[in-house]
Structure 1
Amino acid sequence: MHLAPRGQPDTLTAHFEFPNRTFAGPAVISVDEVNLGKQLSRLHLTLWQGGLMSKPPWVDQSASRRTVLAYTTHADLRNFTGISLPTGYEGREAAALPTLPDFEALKASGRDGSWEEPKIPESSPWPRASWTCGYASPAGEPITKDTLAYVVDSFPYNMHTFLAAPELRQLLLSQPDPDGETKEKKAQRAEVKERDEQRAGLWFPTVVMNLEAKTALPVEGVEWLAVRVTSKQIKDGKFDMEVIVRDVEGEMVALSHHVAMIVSLERNTKKRGSSKASL
């Protein structure tokens, strides 16, 4: 919106830092024009919450918190011109779409035989953001360029089971064999089950997130996107994620990389203390 008058309505890249936890409620975004160019422009954005004012300057820097910091690069992706070349990545398995689901069946029942919409336990105190987006069926409104950052930072409740090593996932999903399992295997299964049961009390906050748009989404938005998420290491309460987003035709829409943590959900839900600004 800020750069639309300059003919640069699309976000090409975005880097987000999360110095404080956000909450559902009013916010103010301040915009600093770092560099305004003919093809690319750069902004420094700060999202403020708490201690907001009803008139300019809108933010009380002694009381408000910086909850998100971002550097963004903007352009008009529909009018980008230049050389195009195929890459070796395009021929790899990771570049291919999975088997497309029966979208109508997913919308009707949440499953189609191959795909299934993950459910959050009703008793879970999980933050409301996790209930907003459907990960197998749509969220009820088109996905547009304005919500792309939300898409790459939103994941199914049971995401941890997909990021785990295949042998651990198999232990988690398979039924125990009382007669055919060694003591070591039983102990390993019990440990994996315990970790999975702890999920309801865990929060996976994003520390840093980078986003690169590869293709401009239609102005009216799309109903479905294919999101592939991989992690190279989950260790000591922190992990990385690589996110690849494609449309239903297989064209790459966006790339994203995250650094995230695994902490107690109480860190998100406990009462906030002093509202003094901090980084």
Structure 2
Amino acid sequence: MHLSSRDQPDTLTAHFEYPARTSPGPAIVIVEDVKLGRSQLSTLHLTLWQGGLRLQAPWITLFVSRRVILAYTTHTNLLTFGGFSLPTGYGSSTAAALPNPLPDFNALKASGIDGGWEENRLPSPSQLLHSLRNWHFYVPRAGPLTPGVLDMWIRAASGERMTQAVLPYVVDSFPLTVHAYLAAPELRELLMGPPSDRDRKPGSSGKNKTSKTNDRDEEGQIEARMSLWFPTVVMNLEVKAALPEEGVEWLNVRVTSKQIKDGRFDLDVLVRDVEGEIIALSHQVALILSMERNTAKTKPSAKTSL
């Protein structure tokens, strides 16, 4: 909206820093023009404030308002952006292919399960993870298709189609058990237990649910996961292609992590459409903390954060 008069409606890249914890509620974003390009690119600096907000300038209250997100973004018009193109070797590699099998989207919408995929559902007492209820995550029924890789299909719980504007939200939203998918195979078995017959046979009817319950301490794993908070420290986003103006119903997301150590981990996120075209790339740094750190009341700072 800020750059609509310059015909630069699309975010090409974004770098987000999270110096403080956000909370549900009102926020104000202050936008500063760093460089307004005459042709293809403009750069902005954005600051998101919470607490002690005012209805008019200067919008914030000293010693009360908190600066909780900082961002640098570059903007363009992806539909008119032109230049040299060159196919890369990645495009012909197995890593570039959509995960197999492709889902039966109608079956997933109707029942949350098909021959190869199933919805990763949140447990009922998960008010602390209310943000995840905005999504339906569908993961492989047989576990990771590639060791240490989370392949999933995602759609909005509201039924709305996903547009360009929600891509930062897409790349920062993960199923509750994301850590178990990223773990090494031997550790995943310790976390989740041995796979049941239903998990080994994606095409089976799913009648062996008792075995799954006995083999895996699911309630214990969920309780342990609910005690953890995975806050994002830094997030980078690069948009590779423009989604249709009306948005899309489904996106494929692949998540990998190279190391989870000392309470911090990296995430690489690849987003593609149902045709396999790369829509966005993201790299993130996150922490693993106690959920109590997220639920503690935020106290007004005694110092200005300007």
Relative to the length of structure 2, the TM-score reads 0.82
Aligned amino acid, residue 174 of structure 1: P
CA distance in structure 1 between the partners assigned to 2:62 and 2:238 by the alignment: 31
Structure 2 equivalent of residue 8 of structure 1 = 8
Counterpart position of 1:250: 276
Alignment partner of 1:11: what SS?
strand
Does residue 174 of structure 1 match 2:175? Answer: no
2:264 is the alignment partner of 1:238: yes
User: Which residue is 1:138 aligned to?
Assistant: 155
Residue 112 of structure 1 corresponds to 114
Of stretches 28-37 and 160-169 in structure 1, the one that deviates more from structure 2 is: 160-169
For 1:208 and 1:83, how far apart are their aligned partners in 2?
31
SS in 1 for 2:169: helix
The amino acid of 1:42's aligned partner reads: T
Where structure 2 has 5 or more consecutive residues not aligned to the other structure, the ranges are 139-153, 197-214
- Cα distance 1:195–1:47, how it changes in 2: closer, same or farther (>3 A)? same
| Residues in 1 aligned to 2:174 and 2:25: alpha-carbon distance in whole angstroms | 22
Q: Does 1:221 align with 2:251?
A: no
Whole-angstrom CA distance in 2 between matches of 1:199 and 1:120: 11
Q: Could you tell me whether the CA contact under 8 Å between 1:107 and 1:138 is conserved in 2?
A: no
In the TM superposition, what is the alpha-carbon distance from 1:217 to its structure 2 partner? 0.8
- Contact map agreement 1:51 1:275 (CA 8 A) in 2: no
**Residues 266 and 283 of structure 2 are in contact (CA less than 8 Å); yes or no, is this contact kept in structure 1?**
yes
Q: Give me the whole-angstrom Cα distance separating, in 2, the residues matched to 1:250 and 1:25.
A: 36
Contact 2:256-2:269 at 8 Å conserved across structures: yes
Q: Which residue in the other structure is 1:27 paired with?
A: 27
Map 1:1-279 onto structure 2 (within 5 A): 1-37=1-37, 38-98=39-99, 99-136=101-138, 138-139=155-156, 140-171=159-190, 172-174=192-194, 197-276=223-302, 277-278=304-305
Relative to structure 1, is the Cα distance of residues 194 and 270 closer, same or farther in structure 2, using a 3 angstrom cutoff? same
Could you say what the CA RMSD is over the residues aligned between the two structures, in angstroms? 2.2
Question: Greater shift after overlay, 247-256 or 95-104?
Answer: 95-104
CA distance in 1: counterparts of 2:40 and 2:91, whole angstroms: 27
Provide the aligned length of Structure 1 versus Structure 2: 267
Distance 2:195 2:77 in 1: 52
**Among the aligned pairs, what percent are the same residue?**
60
Higher-RCO chain (CA-CA 8 Å, sequence separation at least 6): 1
Do the aligned partners of 2:44 and 2:73 also contact (CA within 8 Å) in 1? yes
**Any idea what the Cα deviations from partners look like across 1:13-55, whole Å, max 9, x if unmatched?**
0000001111111110000000001210000000000000122
Letter in 2 for 1:205: P
- Which amino acid is the alignment partner of residue 103 of structure 1? F
2: CA distance between counterparts of 1:80 and 1:274?
Answer: 44
Cα deviation for residue 195 of structure 1 reads: 6.8
The CA distance in 2 between the partners of 1:128 and 1:278, in whole Å, is 29
Residues 253 and 272, structure 2, Cα contact 8 Å, conserved in 1: yes
* CA–CA distance in structure 2, aligned partners of residues 129 and 266 of structure 1: 17
| Offset at residue 173 of structure 1 (A) | 3.7
Give per-residue Cα distances to partners, 1:183-221, cap 9 Å, x unaligned.
xxxxxx99xx97765211001000000000000111111
SS across alignment from 1:143: coil
Residue 274 (structure 1) shift:
2.2
Q: CA deviation at 1:61?
A: 3.3
Partner of 2:173: helix, strand, or coil? Answer: coil
Letter in 2 for 1:18: Y
| Equivalent-residue separation in structure 2 for 1:36 and 1:30 (angstroms) | 16
Structure 1, gaps ≥5 residues long = 177-188
Deviation at 1:138, TM superposition (A): 2.5
Mapped to 1, the partners of 2:117 and 2:187 lie a distance apart of: 21
